[in-house]
A and B are shown apart, each in its own frame.
Chain A
Amino acid sequence: LAKTTQPISMDSYEGQEVNITCSHNNIATNDYITWYQQFPSQGPRFIIQGYKTKVTNEVASLFIPADRKSSTLSLPRVSLSDTAVYYCLVINNAGNMLTFGGGTRLMVKP
């Protein structure tokens, strides 16, 4: 299983862009990188998924360098409601096991 490493916590202010980087040094060729968001007292919610280069959706962007040993989740212009825990995980090539790391606790301040 590809292990992931993320910062334990980050602080930001409303309106700023937030970038959360995740390391996954032993990612396998067929693995995908996925990010989930978890609010207090709720289950994780899918944000974005990618294999390489850049992926963008209405919520976030995901940047993956050529070696794929890391990835960066970018949240544009965060608001207070983006305060949550963000999990980076790698889907193995069989696709049936998700390894959640410790997550990054993002605190957005006014």
Chain B
Amino acid sequence: DTAVSQTPKYLVTQMGNDKSIKCEQNLGHDTMYWYKQDSKKFLKIMFSYNNKELIINETVPNRFSPKSPDKAHLNLHINSLELGDSAVYFCASSFREGSQETQYFGPGTRLLVL
């Protein structure tokens, strides 16, 4: 049973296209995230959703838009793709126990923009 799953695993596309990455978690967690990991392996948070409400919105281009149809899903839609969008995108979900939070990550989506 996959806790956090992402599709597709690989995505190769042309500049200017619009694409979506899907994420689903079956852990019953309330919060989900999207991260971008660049070629230097830095993990940067992009968005966070808690009970379908956006609670973190880092300074990412508005070409990126998260969409959460329900608590178990947080999809990432990207408009007008650019070369610099090439990276690995990770979805994660988390639960909180008191002040402690643990995140569970998906396997990542490797996006290559040509």
A46-B35 Cα distance, complex, nearest whole Å: 15
Q: Which of B37-85 contact A (CB under 8 A)?
A: 40-45, 48, 50, 55-56
User: Nearest residue in B to A43 (C-beta to C-beta)?
Assistant: B105
8 pairs of A and B residues whose beta carbons are closest in the complex? A43-B105, A100-B43, A95-B101, A43-B90, A44-B105, A46-B102, A43-B106, A91-B101
Cβ A49 vs Cβ B45 within 8 A: no
Given the known A-B contacts A96-B50, A97-B56, are A44 and B43 also in contact in the complex, defined by CB atoms under 8 Å? yes
**What distance in Å separates the Cβ of A90 from its nearest Cβ neighbour in chain B?**
11
Cβ A45 vs Cβ B105 within 8 A: yes
Q: Could you list which residues of chain A lie within 8 angstroms of chain B, going by C-beta atoms? A: 30, 32, 34, 36, 41-46, 49, 85, 87, 91, 93, 95-100, 102-103
Given the known A-B contacts A43-B90, A96-B56, are A49 and B43 also in contact in the complex, defined by CB atoms under 8 Å? no
* Total interface residues in chain B, CB < 8 Å: 27
**What distance in Å separates the Cβ of A47 from its nearest Cβ neighbour in chain B?**
10
Cβ B41 vs Cβ A85 within 8 A: yes
Contact bitstring B80-114, A, C-beta under 8 A = 1, else 0: 00000000001010001001111111111000000
Cβ B48 vs Cβ A87 within 8 A: no
A37-B99 Cα distance, complex, nearest whole Å: 21
Cβ A96 vs Cβ B31 within 8 A: yes
A98-B41 Cα distance, complex, nearest whole Å: 16
Contacts of B50 in A (CB 8 A): 96
User: Nearest residue in B to A31 (C-beta to C-beta)?
Assistant: B99
**What distance in Å separates the Cβ of A82 from its nearest Cβ neighbour in chain B?**
17
Contacts of A36 in B (CB 8 A): 103
Contacts of B102 in A (CB 8 A): 34, 46, 49
Contacts of A46 in B (CB 8 A): 102-104
